[in-house]
Amino acid sequence: MAIPDKRYPRTGDKQTIYLKNVITNPNIMVGEYTMYYDFVNDPTLFEKNNVLYHYSINHDKLIIGKFCSIACGAHFLFNSANHTLHSLSTYPFPLFYEEWGLEQEHVTDSWDNKGDIVIGNDVWIGYEAVILAGVTIRDGAIIGTRAVVTKDVPPYSIVGGVPAKVIRKRYADNVIFELLNIKWWDWDKQKIARNIKAVQCSDIALLKQEEFL
């Protein structure tokens, strides 16, 4: 009997993958059940095609939570794509240290380091959205198609546009508070399976009730 390929969660579907199972870069961390779908390129090449300017010399990280849905062509644009704004010229002289007689250890002075990209749990990132370095997207957020996310995104909010702005919250503040406390994505698989209907419904009271089962 053939051993199931853990990269592909759906039989016969080679365009959808569980992202965690194809990651090799130690500076990319992905939670369980997060999926990536790509109808243009091989989705297993996510590190090469979607995580851009992510050079080990900079030590920045891509952290993605559990149960996220990432659409085709979403890109994560890291610090090395930047040019420093703290000098009179944006030209990356330190990058070409040999040409200019500079010290190799100062290569990272070529760009401004804004930090890691952190994606929470149960986040949906739309088609060809771009997430910039230093951005944190909180649990339950939705990123619209081709949005360019330059700032942190609050939990359970919908953002879109260039640059991305909050369109609306998905739920009332009290419901968001309850969801962030319940953290259903941290339940074990058996508990989630028992309570799938509660997770899928729009009734926070039912989900709170199931939390204790």
Q: What are residue 117's DSSP bridge partners?
A: 62
Active-site residue, from 54, 59, 83, 106? 83
- Report whether the peptide linkage leading into residue 26 is cis, meaning its omega lies within 30 degrees of zero: no
**CA–CA distances in Å: residue 56 to residues 21, 26, 62:** 21, 10, 12
Give CA 116 to chain center in angstroms: 11
Token pair listed for 105: 């250890």
Which residues, 6+ apart, have CB-to-CB distance to 178 below 8 Å?
A: 204, 207, 208
The candidate with the shortest Cα–Cα distance to 170, out of 147, 136, 135, 139, is 139
3 state DSSP class of 207:
helix
Q: For residue 174, give the amino acid letter.
A: N
Active site (annotated) includes residue 83: yes
Give the residue numbers annotated as catalytic, written as ranges. Answer: 83
